[in-house]
Chains A and B, each alone.
Chain A
């Protein structure tokens, strides 16, 4: 079964850091581009970042550029999101997403992990 399982969410103070992980299984992880997408409480989906299949190319939403870093370890079938200088507005459910062969075809989603930034 194709599956993405996020972990690492929690409560963190403003200015703090957190690293999210996403364990992939059931497919050849190293062949796919991957994304992080977030959803603030009661709000819509917002794209955060994307990484290509070998990790050599990354892009970010302006709202997280310079603070968040996406990375991957294809040997461990794991995607990461390092989040630094966290702000209250980063509070959200963070989804790990696989991009299929189509254009921005987000075909597999994890269940999400919750990040709360509060003092």
Chain B
């Protein structure tokens, strides 16, 4: 049972937009920054978003992040088949004094 709650799966058609939610509490998302990671099948995770909404160099602006209260959202526009992957949210939990991951969301591009 993850501290951060993500939907197990989401799907959308190529070219469409999808959002992935990450729900937490005041001890984690509510008072700390969120980052997002993409894990393509059989590969190591890759940083997509940090500090809630910032994109590392090389990450296309099709990927966006936002935070409101105790929830964060990853948005992906112009979906491509190459976006099929697992996506994870991560933050610091001040009560646990630990880094916490969401359970992950599998994106299917139909």
Residues of chain A having any CB pair with chain B under 8 Å: 35, 37, 44-47, 50, 59, 61-62, 95, 100, 102-107, 109-112
Contacts and interface: CB of A to CB of B under 8 A. Distances in A.
A102 B44 contact: no
B45 interface: yes
Contacts, number: 69
Contacts of B101: 37, 44-47
B98 A45 contact: no
B54 A102 contact: yes
10 contacts: A37-B101, A45-B37, A59-B98, A95-B45, A102-B51, A102-B54, A103-B33, A103-B50, A105-B50, A109-B46
Nearest to A108: B47
Contacts of A106: 35, 37, 45, 47, 90
B45 A105 contact: no
Interface residues of B, number: 28
A47 B39 contact: no
B88 A47 contact: no
B104 A103 contact: no
B99 interface: yes
Interface in B61-110: 86, 88, 90-92, 96-104
B97 A104 contact: no
Interface of B: 2, 32-33, 35, 37, 39, 44-47, 50-51, 54, 56, 86, 88, 90-92, 96-104
B47 A105 contact: yes
B45 A45 contact: yes
B39 A45 contact: yes
A26 B97 CA distance: 30
B44 A104 contact: no
A47 B97 CA distance: 12
B90 A104 contact: yes
Contacts of A104: 32-33, 35, 50, 90-92, 99
Nearest to B100: A47
Contacts of B86: 44
Given A102-B51, A103-B33, A47 B99 contact: yes
